[in-house]
Amino acid sequence: MRPGRPRLTRRIPSIHRLNRRLRRGQVSRTPPKFGLNGFLITPAPKAAARKTIRQIAAQADREGNDGFAHSQAEFVTAHA
């Protein structure tokens, strides 16, 4: 895969492979849980899109986001 692709894009093929192996009974483990939260910003000029993402980031609940990220890291560590 291209080095500039986002981590999620690089992970999707491996998640598909694991799910196929789980369905075939080749692997005995809990199926992966997957969630995604994001924004699709579509203003035509790139400058407008960048301005919009900066506004979203400025209004984000940083404490809530950090708490969610921490809880997910703990879950992944506990279930690895």
- Look at residue 70 and tell me whether its pLDDT is greater than 70: yes
Query: Structure tokens of 27?
Result: 């692997």
Q: Are 17 and 32 in contact (CB under 8 A)?
A: no
For the chain, the first-to-last Cα distance in angstroms comes to 25
Q: What is the pLDDT of residue 3?
A: 55
The number of domains in the chain is 2
Contacting residues for 43 by C-beta, under 8 A, at least 6 apart: 49, 52
Are 29 and 43 found together in one domain? no
- How high is the pLDDT of residue 1? 44
Check whether residue 30 and residue 44 sit in a common domain.
no
Residue 48's domain comprises 37-80
Q: Which residue has the tokens 């990220």?
A: 69
Residues 54 and 68 in one domain: yes
Average pLDDT, the chain: 76
Q: Is the pLDDT of residue 54 over 80?
A: yes
Phi, psi of 28 (to 5 degrees): -115, 95
Please check the confidence at residue 71 and state whether its pLDDT lies above 60. Answer: yes
Query: Is a pLDDT exceeding 70 seen at residue 34?
Result: no
